């Protein structure tokens, strides 16, 4: 996995007045934290931060944070947004060990065509749009495919049914539904015995 470098300033003053001034100048206040690291107040350029997390990995991008000449390998966590404008108001940077597993939220991508479900005028209902996984930082996938071509009427695809890359495991209940099916308005009657559980 590639890394992006992000410059951070460590001389930001604390307090709401100084924070508003920072945001007005196009900066985002944040904090660096992690095992063996004392919390460090920083600020980063808003445009540079957007660029750092705009690649395929998104918020799972590995960032080489240059904080006043001291480098930290971090991932962006706990992003707070302005309630109206939606702009990033604060970000926590978690220091990580590249050799140890981390938790990451990975988008789910539905692929294929549930022909049998569609022909019965039933509907495919995506109930989960991302999956929390545990894996090493360099093994975090950009997305996880959910194949629905073999989905039957009344069927469900659960977390345990997903095909995950090697070294990646779900960090949530394996029995949770990712995809379900339900009758559409013009659904044809289906015998109970035919409905997959």
pTM of the model: 0.78
Q: Per-residue DSSP letters for 157-185?
A: EEGGGS-PPTT-EESS-TTSEEEEEEE-T
What would be the CATH architecture of the domain defined by 3-96? Answer: Beta Barrel (2.40)
The conformation of residue 189, written as its DSSP 8-state character, comes to P
Residue 92 has pLDDT above 90, yes or no: yes
The bridge status of strand 130-135 relative to strand 144-147 is unpaired
What is the tens place of the pLDDT at every residue in 125-176? 999 999 999 999 989 999 999 999 999 999 999 999 999 999 999 999 999 9
| The domains spanning 3-96 and 103-194 adopt the same CATH topology | no
- Determine the Cα–Cα distance for residues 88 and 81; give it in Å rounded to an integer: 4
* Whether the Cβ atoms of residue 109 and residue 138 lie closer than 8 Å to each other: no
Q: What residues does each domain of the chain span? A: 3-96, 103-194
- Determine the Cα–Cα distance for residues 171 and 103; give it in Å rounded to an integer: 7
- Reported as half-sphere exposure (CB side, CA atoms, 13 A), residue 113 has a value of 3
What is the tens place of the pLDDT at every residue in 52-80? 988 888 889 999 999 988 999 999 988 88
Q: Which sign does the torsion angle of CA 95, 100, 101, 106 carry?
A: positive
Q: Supply the CATH classification number for the domain 103-194.
A: 2.170.120.20
């Amino acid at each position: 996995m590639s890394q992006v470098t992000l410059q951070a300033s460590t001389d930001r003053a604390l307090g709401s007045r100084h924070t508003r001034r920072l945001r007005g100048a196009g900066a985002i206040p944040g904090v660096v934290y992690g095992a063996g690291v004392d919390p460090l107040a920083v600020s980063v350029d808003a445009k540079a931060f957007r660029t750092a997390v705009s690649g395929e990995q998104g918020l799972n991008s590995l960032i080489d944070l240059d904080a006043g000449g001291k480098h930290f390998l971090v991932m962006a966590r706990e992003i707070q947004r302005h309630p109206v404008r939606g702009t990033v108001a604060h970000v926590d940077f978690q220091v990580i060990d590249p050799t140890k597993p981390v938790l990451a939220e990975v988008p789910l991508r539905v692929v294929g065509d549930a022909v049998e479900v569609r022909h019965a005028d039933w509907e495919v209902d995506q109930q989960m749009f991302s999956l929390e996984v545990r894996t090493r930082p360099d093994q975090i996938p950009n997305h996880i495919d959910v194949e629905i071509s073999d989905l039957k009427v009344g069927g469900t695809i659960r977390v345990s049914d997903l095909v995950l890359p090697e070294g990646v495991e779900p960090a949530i209940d394996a029995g949770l539904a990712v995809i379900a099916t339900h009758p559409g308005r013009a659904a044809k009657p289906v015998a109970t015995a035919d409905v997959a559980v």
